[in-house]
Amino acid sequence: MGKEAFKDGLRSGLPISLGYFAVSFSLGILMRNAGLDPLQGLVMSLLNNTSAGEASAVSIIAEGGSTWEIALSQLVINMRYFLMSAALCPHLSPSLSLPRRALIGFDVTDEVFAVLVSAPRPLDERYAYGVATVTIPGWAAGTVLGIVFGNLLPEGIVNALSLALYGMFIAVVIPPAEKDHRILAVVISSMALSLAMAAVPALAGLGSGTKTIVLTLITASLAALIWPVEEEA
């Protein structure tokens, strides 16, 4: 039974892993442009499975930002995973120990959460381990190859591929923004605030990490005040 659950996890995680590989390859090129070597990229991606978080960290590194900027930006950008992990807890067996719960939570990303929360309850931890076994290496391998081949590919192709990650972010935001005016308003507001920060001399000198933190907190707070989520009875 345990082996079957693990194999099911491998099968469910394989499509996610292939998607991660394609995205993280572009991230690897950004790492290469920021001066990271393959080993640094490997360790970074093994410990941080998040495209938005890593892209922000790489941008801060490229600009020579401070460690606290990186740490705080990761906390703010990846805060949604706290909520996902909390939502996943009722799907786990009550007898599952805290360290084993934390091990499952280590690989909770948007895609992995969707797979795990759709599995039969109670969630078999070996199924989650199977998903993590293919998704984490897929993400890390893509970044390493992006760094390696970023040194071999022509400069024009490297510049084009370095934009692919931002294209993915746009592709993620546009569909829900078309369906929900609130999301569209948040996107437009964040763009306007970003332009305003660039135009104000006192704020233009802030690092990208600090700007990301400030913009995220402002837009998220305003959205929560204007459109609060009603609690279920």
Neighbours of 217 (CB within 10 A): 11
Burial category of 47 from C-beta neighbours within 10 Å (exposed 0-12, middle 13-18, buried 19 and up): exposed
Run means of pLDDT, 10 residues per run, the chain, 233 residues: 83 86 85 90 89 86 85 83 83 88 88 84 90 93 88 68 63 75 84 83 69 77 79 53
Q: How many residues does the chain have?
A: 233
- What does pTM read for this prediction? 0.71
Would you state the pLDDT for residue 139?
A: 92
Would you state the pLDDT for residue 43?
A: 93
The Cα 111–Cα 17 span in angstroms is 10
Distances (CA, A) of 3 to 6, 9, 117, 124, 209: 5, 10, 20, 11, 43
No. of H helices and E strands in the chain? 13, 0
Would you state the pLDDT for residue 131?
A: 92
